[in-house]
Structure 1
Amino acid sequence: MTTRSFYRLDEISDITRLTKGDILNAVERQELALCAWVAGKKFGLVSKTNALLGLFDYNGTVSLTKQQSQTLLCDGKSIRLERFLIQEPERIKAIIDCRAQFVDLPNRIFSKLLYFSDVPKSPFVASSTVCDAADHSALLGIMKEEQPKWAKHENPFHGLGQVFDLVTNPPVKQLGVQPIGIKPEQLRLDIRKLTEYFGIECLKEPERLALTNQTYLPSRQKTNQTPMLIKPNIETNPIKVMIHAVLDNDPDFGSKDIWNILKQDVLSDERHFDVESIIDEMTNNEIIRFGDGVDTQIATGKPRFRTLVSEVKKSRRK
């Protein structure tokens, strides 16, 4: 059997000394959460501030809550999910920019539409398939306006047919999320969670778990080779990169001018300075941006911003 992190419930006796009853008991008491295998397209990458950062396709496991695990395993019932935790981000090939696709649709689900091109390296929150859906509020308004006309029609079933047409082919759309269904047969066991709950001794071959966490280092260089380390002169602070871009237009801009220009840039449909949509939100006193991952956010206040502007201007004079 190949070494992996997620297993089906039927494999429990192959990899552990536990029985199915042991798992059922732990889940029934809501002391153990399981995972589920899903396959879908156009899942949404969601930030901590509920911004939609892009779409991706995914075949892999997602985390379940203890309550969801109990419903699936103990009650044998299916569930539907709109939000879940992606467990295997390494299975994602790319994040797709969807701003142009959905920019004209009413949005009552996400705080805003941005783009974060990097695939997260650790588990992250996602939404189920993002799509254009019927705007039910707008449809009700249309039906209310058309109802008097339908009542006057000579065919008594005319109104019913019109309602059917509006529902099946809605003329008004909004940004929506299509829930995914999870069936009991999609349940998976996370070997790491099992060992956390039951202890490492529950595994038949505990050394196999260690294999999945090994880090293979490249072979050592020959002693007669001296590596040449070159520190590239590349700016890595994204705020400084934006400041440089603004100063390229006018080197005499002050920190207040640059701040206002960046704020206008963040509010525009197409960003010219924050081209990678690093900034999640910008207020009158603070810039909130993404760090190394979508779940890591960094706040930069005006005093720190003024310091960054000074550092950039000093470096440009060299």
Structure 2
Amino acid sequence: MLNRNYYRLAELATLSYLSEGDLLDVVERQEFTLCAWLEGQSFGLVSKTNALLGLFDYNGTVTLTKQQSQILLCESKSIRLEWLPIQEPERIKAIADCRKQFADLPNRTFSKLLYRSDVPTSLFMACGSVGEVADQLASLNHVKEKQRKALEQGEKVKLFDDWMSLFVDAPVKQLGIQPIEIKPEQLRFDIRKLAEHFGPECLKQPERFGFARQMESQTVMPSSPIINQISNPIEPNMETKPIKVIMGALLDDYPTARSDKLWNVLRQDVKQTARRYDTEQVIDEMSQYQIIWFGRGRDAEFIMAYKTFQNQLSAVRKQRLKT
């Protein structure tokens, strides 16, 4: 299997130890977002001032919100989107100039028509397919005027046919956005977000996706013979590993606290400008599931899952009891 960032839901069991029920649960609780695979033409590149900058074709993934993910996965219903967060701009070959193409169409959707040939290099918001759409208000006025003239001239008014034309093929067109339908079978998950949410240990082969080098090594289980090969133990007050130094500071204040309480205390500490426990500002981010921190010189990034924190905290406790 080739390394990718986005996978079909049916591939979950091949890549991870998670079940479909695990994924369904976090999406149902709106704690996790999915993606959708999209293939289409004439998507609109739109500026921050709502100017249409050009059109492009796209075969790639788009980001979904938590609510959209829930509807698609948990309710198995399709959704229609006018605005699309494009995740893989590298899949866009070019931006086409559409100023001449739409010059004669009434435009009440975009602030103006411009052209920018540069393809964005990071995630950006685009709109659905741009082109002729029905101008319902103008079409309604057109039908009313047509009927008025027919009555004045004593002609037969085809009420049913005229009103049906508004829904089948509106006589007046304008420039607009055609919503894109997203179906449940288009759902994908981002392997990076999966590892971020559940921890890299949820993956069967984390090294394939670059997580093994970043993960803090798990504490060796007692059954391993390596546990008896420790030499030159470091005194607790001489600990040099930054996360263990932080653990020691936590245990100074909360010597009998459980690991989950200490985890939450540290999470609150990391949010503070002046930190009590992480005094060296080592931790860059800390979520409910993991700690992201930097090694010496801030040139090496590490990820520590809660389970690893729990194991290392236990090791620090034992080391303190020996002294």
Counting only pairs closer than 5 Å after superposition, residues 1-318 of structure 1 correspond to structure 2 as 1-150=1-150, 158-165=158-165, 167-210=167-210
Letter in 1 for 2:44: G
Distance 2:20 2:162 in 1: 53
Please list the CA deviations of residues 261-316 of structure 1 after superposition, one character each: whole Å capped at 9, or x if unmatched: xxxxxxxxxxxxxxxxxxxxxxxxxxxxxxxxxxxxxxxxxxxxxxxxxxxxxxxx
Q: How far apart are the structure 2 equivalents of 1:80 and 1:150?
A: 39
Alpha-carbon contact 2:35-2:187 (below 8 Å) kept: yes
Deviation, 1:112, is 1.7
Q: Distance in 2 between matches of 1:182 and 1:71?
A: 11
Q: Which amino acid aligns with 2:178?
A: Q
> Aligned-pair distance for 1:171?
3.6
In the alignment, structure 2 segments of 5+ residues that lack a partner are 212-323
Query: Size of the alignment, in residue pairs?
Result: 211
- Taking the aligned partners of 1:112 and 1:163, their CA distance within structure 2 comes to 32
Amino acid at match of 1:134: A
Distance in 1 between the 2:30 and 2:38 partners?
22
Deviation per CA, 1:102-149, whole angstroms, max 9, x where unpaired?
122222222221111011111111111001112111111112222334
Inter-partner Cα distance in structure 1 for 2:16 and 2:168 = 51
State the AA in 2 paired with 1:195: A
**Partner AA of 1:56 in structure 2:** F
The answer to whether the 8 A contact 2:129-2:177 is kept is yes
- 1:151-184: CA deviation from partner (whole Å, max 9, x where unpaired): 576656x232234446544342211111111111
The answer as to whether partners of 2:136 and 2:166 remain within 8 angstroms in 1 is no
Asked which structure has the greater CA Rg, the reply is 2
> Deviations 1:173-222 (Å, cap 9, x if unpaired)?
211111111111110001111111111111111111129xxxxxxxxxxx
SS of residue matched to 2:101: helix
Q: Distance in 2 between matches of 1:38 and 1:166?
A: 30
Partner SS for 1:128: strand
Q: Secondary structure at the match of 2:131?
A: strand
Distance in 2 (CA, whole Å) between partners of 1:208 and 1:101 is 46
Residues 26-85 of structure 1 show CA distances to partners (whole Å, capped at 9, x for unaligned) of 101101010001110000011222221110011111000000000000111110011011
C-alpha distance in structure 2 between counterparts of 1:150 and 1:89, whole Å: 53
SS in 1 for 2:70: helix
Compared with structure 1, are the counterparts of its residues 13 and 169 closer, same or farther at alpha carbon in structure 2 (3 Å cutoff)?
Answer: closer
Cα distance change, pair 168–69 in 1 and its aligned pair in 2 (3 A): same
Secondary structure at 2:210's aligned position in 1? helix
Amino acid at match of 2:3: T
- TM-score computed with the length of structure 2 as normaliser: 0.61
Uncovered stretches (5+) of structure 1, i.e. residues with no partner:
212-318
One-letter amino acid matched to 2:101? Q
Distance 1:72 1:172 in 2: 34
RCO (CA 8 Å, sep 6+): is it higher in 1 or 2?
Answer: 1
What amino acid does structure 2 have at the position aligned with 1:3? Answer: N
**62 and 165 in structure 1: CA distance in 2 versus 1, 3 angstrom threshold:** same
Say if 2:165 and 2:171, in contact at 8 Å, map to a contact too. Answer: no
CA contact (8 A) 1:47 1:125 kept: no
- CA contact under 8 A between 2:36 and 2:187: conserved in structure 1? yes
Deviation at 1:101, TM superposition (A): 1.1
Match for 1:61: what amino acid?
A: T
Q: Structure 1 length normalisation: TM-score?
A: 0.62
